[in-house]
Amino acid sequence: MKKEKTIGTVLRELRKKKKMTVQEATAALAEKGFVISCKSMYAYENDTREMNADPFIALCQIYDCDNVMETFADAAADDSLPTEEETKLLQDYRLLDRSGQETVLYILAHELDRQRQISPLGEKGDQDT
Protein backbone atom coordinates (compact mmCIF):
# COMPACT_ATOMS: atom_id res chain seq x y z
CA MET A 1 0.00 0.00 0.00
CA LYS A 2 1.41 3.39 -1.04
CA LYS A 3 1.99 5.86 1.79
CA GLU A 4 -0.01 9.08 1.57
CA LYS A 5 1.93 12.07 0.27
CA THR A 6 1.96 14.78 2.92
CA ILE A 7 4.13 17.82 3.48
CA GLY A 8 6.00 15.92 6.19
CA THR A 9 6.61 12.81 4.11
CA VAL A 10 7.85 14.93 1.21
CA LEU A 11 10.17 16.91 3.50
CA ARG A 12 11.59 13.62 4.82
CA GLU A 13 12.03 12.28 1.25
CA LEU A 14 13.80 15.47 0.15
CA ARG A 15 16.11 15.37 3.17
CA LYS A 16 17.00 11.75 2.54
CA LYS A 17 17.52 12.44 -1.17
CA LYS A 18 20.11 15.08 -0.13
CA LYS A 19 21.65 12.41 2.15
CA MET A 20 21.20 14.68 5.16
CA THR A 21 20.44 13.73 8.73
CA VAL A 22 17.88 15.65 10.76
CA GLN A 23 20.79 17.16 12.69
CA GLU A 24 22.41 18.37 9.45
CA ALA A 25 19.11 19.81 8.20
CA THR A 26 18.52 21.72 11.43
CA ALA A 27 22.12 23.00 11.33
CA ALA A 28 21.60 24.21 7.74
CA LEU A 29 18.39 25.95 8.83
CA ALA A 30 20.24 27.59 11.72
CA GLU A 31 22.79 28.97 9.23
CA LYS A 32 19.84 30.65 7.49
CA GLY A 33 18.61 32.09 10.79
CA PHE A 34 15.97 29.50 11.73
CA VAL A 35 16.73 27.67 14.96
CA ILE A 36 14.63 24.51 15.08
CA SER A 37 15.22 21.54 17.35
CA CYS A 38 15.64 18.03 15.98
CA LYS A 39 12.49 17.08 17.90
CA SER A 40 10.54 19.77 16.03
CA MET A 41 11.98 18.63 12.70
CA TYR A 42 10.85 15.07 13.40
CA ALA A 43 7.39 16.44 14.27
CA TYR A 44 7.26 18.31 10.94
CA GLU A 45 8.31 15.22 9.03
CA ASN A 46 5.71 13.12 10.87
CA ASP A 47 2.97 15.71 10.27
CA THR A 48 2.29 16.12 13.98
CA ARG A 49 3.29 19.78 13.79
CA GLU A 50 3.01 22.37 11.01
CA MET A 51 6.04 24.37 9.89
CA ASN A 52 5.86 28.14 9.39
CA ALA A 53 6.34 29.41 5.84
CA ASP A 54 9.77 31.05 6.22
CA PRO A 55 11.66 28.00 7.53
CA PHE A 56 9.71 25.83 5.09
CA ILE A 57 10.96 27.91 2.16
CA ALA A 58 14.48 27.86 3.60
CA LEU A 59 14.29 24.06 3.81
CA CYS A 60 13.12 23.90 0.21
CA GLN A 61 16.21 25.91 -0.77
CA ILE A 62 18.46 23.66 1.33
CA TYR A 63 16.93 20.58 -0.30
CA ASP A 64 17.21 22.12 -3.81
CA CYS A 65 13.44 22.00 -4.27
CA ASP A 66 12.88 24.47 -7.10
CA ASN A 67 9.18 23.93 -7.66
CA VAL A 68 7.17 23.72 -4.45
CA MET A 69 3.81 23.27 -6.18
CA GLU A 70 5.04 20.38 -8.28
CA THR A 71 6.93 18.73 -5.44
CA PHE A 72 4.33 19.04 -2.70
CA ALA A 73 1.03 19.22 -4.57
CA ASP A 74 1.64 17.38 -7.85
CA ALA A 75 0.51 20.56 -9.58
CA ALA A 76 2.41 22.18 -12.40
CA ALA A 77 3.45 25.71 -11.64
CA ASP A 78 5.28 28.24 -13.75
CA ASP A 79 6.97 29.83 -10.78
CA SER A 80 9.84 28.28 -8.91
CA LEU A 81 11.68 29.36 -5.82
CA PRO A 82 14.45 31.80 -6.61
CA THR A 83 17.98 30.55 -6.19
CA GLU A 84 20.24 32.30 -3.70
CA GLU A 85 21.91 34.07 -6.64
CA GLU A 86 18.55 35.29 -7.97
CA THR A 87 17.55 36.50 -4.50
CA LYS A 88 20.85 38.37 -4.23
CA LEU A 89 20.23 40.01 -7.62
CA LEU A 90 16.83 41.24 -6.45
CA GLN A 91 18.29 42.56 -3.20
CA ASP A 92 21.03 44.39 -5.12
CA TYR A 93 18.49 45.80 -7.59
CA ARG A 94 16.47 47.23 -4.70
CA LEU A 95 19.59 49.05 -3.43
CA LEU A 96 19.93 50.97 -6.71
CA ASP A 97 18.47 54.42 -7.20
CA ARG A 98 15.82 54.95 -9.88
CA SER A 99 18.42 55.65 -12.58
CA GLY A 100 20.30 52.46 -11.78
CA GLN A 101 17.10 50.41 -11.81
CA GLU A 102 16.12 51.89 -15.20
CA THR A 103 19.56 50.96 -16.58
CA VAL A 104 19.18 47.36 -15.36
CA LEU A 105 15.68 47.14 -16.89
CA TYR A 106 16.96 48.52 -20.21
CA ILE A 107 19.79 45.98 -20.37
CA LEU A 108 17.44 43.16 -19.34
CA ALA A 109 14.98 44.06 -22.11
CA HIS A 110 17.84 44.22 -24.63
CA GLU A 111 19.17 40.80 -23.57
CA LEU A 112 15.68 39.23 -23.66
CA ASP A 113 15.21 40.50 -27.22
CA ARG A 114 18.62 39.14 -28.21
CA GLN A 115 17.83 35.77 -26.63
CA ARG A 116 14.49 35.54 -28.44
CA GLN A 117 16.24 36.12 -31.75
CA ILE A 118 18.70 33.27 -31.24
CA SER A 119 16.36 30.90 -29.40
CA PRO A 120 12.65 31.01 -30.33
CA LEU A 121 9.91 30.87 -27.70
CA GLY A 122 12.21 32.17 -24.97
CA GLU A 123 14.05 28.87 -24.49
CA LYS A 124 17.20 29.19 -22.43
CA GLY A 125 20.40 28.70 -24.32
CA ASP A 126 24.11 28.86 -23.72
CA GLN A 127 24.97 30.44 -27.06
CA ASP A 128 27.66 33.08 -27.07
CA THR A 129 26.67 35.92 -29.39
pLDDT tens sequence across 70-115:
888 876 655 566 778 888 999 999 999 999 999 999 999 999 999 9
One domain, residues 89 and 69 = no
Is residue 62, in this structure, part of any structural domain at all?
Answer: yes
Q: Residue 111 belongs to what domain range?
A: 84-122
2: in domain: no
Summarize pLDDT for 41-74 with one digit per residue, the tens.
999 999 999 999 999 999 999 999 977 878 888 7
pLDDT of residue 129: 45
Q: Please report the pLDDT score of residue 84 as a whole number.
A: 83
Tell me the DSSP string of 64-123.
T---HHHHHHS---S--PPPHHHHHHHHHHHHS-HHHHHHHHHHHHHHHHHHHHHSGGG-
Residue 46 covered by a domain: yes
Considering its fold, how many domains does the chain have in total? 2
Residue 4, pLDDT score: 76
pLDDT for the residue numbered 92? 95
